[in-house]
Structure 1
């Protein structure tokens, strides 16, 4: 699943979604199988969002294949297609590939520069990944 509008200046889920979409996905990752009314109720803690707006956004997320809809009697229940972790993994992988395809070594150099701010555990995992990659390519 590919998100077409990555927003560089945003944080978290807002990099991939509009503000209401991000809140809805966050709710559904926490409570999969929720109805529109349940999501609307959870959103009311932030601000007053009407039922039709929530329904429209949720159905658009179904159209984008980010949610799937099932029926329980007359109530539609919504489930994320992927876990939050799977989604973030897929998006970061796609973004990394696009950056390397577009900018090559320049992107990799900037990624390595960003390691100055990384913890030692991340650097250790990267070193192990490079060792494995070299071993596999021999």
Structure 2
């Protein structure tokens, strides 16, 4: 699944989705297999008072985007994420990294390395190991 919209100046899930979509996804990652009504109630607990049709529209759009699955549970439909939050973020960050490398090549690598000045020692160690592994493969 490729998300076609990336908002550079947002944070977290809002880089990929609208604010309400992000809230719905967070609810379903925490509590999968929820009906529209159940998600609506959880949104109300977050002071988001939305009508049923609005929540239904958002959830069905997330199904259309390939982020949620919809299945029948008796008379109601329940929704669950296609991937865990961690796996979704892994897929998207990998896609972004590949596109940046394709478009900007060495420039993006240099900027990522510059950003490592703020990284902890563990992240730098992982990067060093990854580089060693890549060299062995070639």
Aligned to 1:20: 20
Aligned to 2:86: 85
Partner of 2:4, secondary structure, is: coil
Question: Whole-Å Cα distance in 1 between the matches of residues 74 and 32 of structure 2?
Answer: 17
Structure 2 matches for 1:47-58, cutoff 5 A? 47-58=48-59
**Residue 127 of structure 1 pairs with residue 128 of structure 2:** yes
Aligned to 1:73: 74
Runs of at least 4 residues of structure 1 off by over 3 A? none
Question: Whole-Å Cα distance in 1 between the matches of residues 117 and 40 of structure 2?
Answer: 42
Aligned to 1:29: 29
Question: Whole-Å Cα distance in 2 between the matches of residues 111 and 46 of structure 1?
Answer: 39
What is the TM-score of this pair, normalised by structure 1? 0.97
- Aligned-pair distance for 1:46? 2.6
1:13-62 CA distances to partner (integer Å, 9 max, x unpaired)? 00110000000011000001011011001111232111100000101111
What is the TM-score of this pair, normalised by structure 2? 0.97
Aligned length: 137
Partner of 1:77, secondary structure, is: strand
1:110-134 CA distances to partner (integer Å, 9 max, x unpaired)? 0000000111000000000000100
Question: Whole-Å Cα distance in 2 between the matches of residues 46 and 126 of structure 1?
Answer: 42
Question: Whole-Å Cα distance in 1 between the matches of residues 94 and 73 of structure 2?
Answer: 35
Question: Whole-Å Cα distance in 1 between the matches of residues 90 and 137 of structure 2?
Answer: 22
